[in-house]
Amino acid sequence: MSKATAITNTIRSLRFHANEMTQADLAKAVGVTRQTILAIEQGKYSPSLEVAFKIAAVFKVPLDQVFQYPDA
């Protein structure tokens, strides 16, 4: 079974500052399901590099502003 990832993210905050974008809207823009965005936000799922870049592109910010890894 999957284990929680050590990668943290600021998606919730970025969505809030993007006119309170919904998880469904972000999911549609990225091309994944809303459940996947929810799992990523909660740190339960680490997305592929491609999806990570797509999320960053939606918010027009660098990747490391969306995802952070401790000790990195």
Instruction: Catalog residues that contact other proteins under the rule CB under 8 A.
Output: 1-2, 4, 31-36, 39, 42, 44-45, 47-48, 51
Place of tokens 């999806």: 51
In the complex, least distance from residue 49 CB atom to other proteins, rounded to whole angstroms: 11
Q: Which two tokens stand for residue 35?
A: 């459940």
* Pick 41 or 61: Cβ nearer other proteins: 41
For the chain, the straight-line distance linking the first and the last C-alpha, in angstroms and rounded, comes to 26
* Pick 35 or 68: Cβ nearer other proteins: 35
What span, in angstroms and rounded, lies between the C-alpha atoms of 28 and 64?
A: 22
* Pick 17 or 43: Cβ nearer other proteins: 43
In the complex, least distance from residue 63 CB atom to other proteins, rounded to whole angstroms: 17
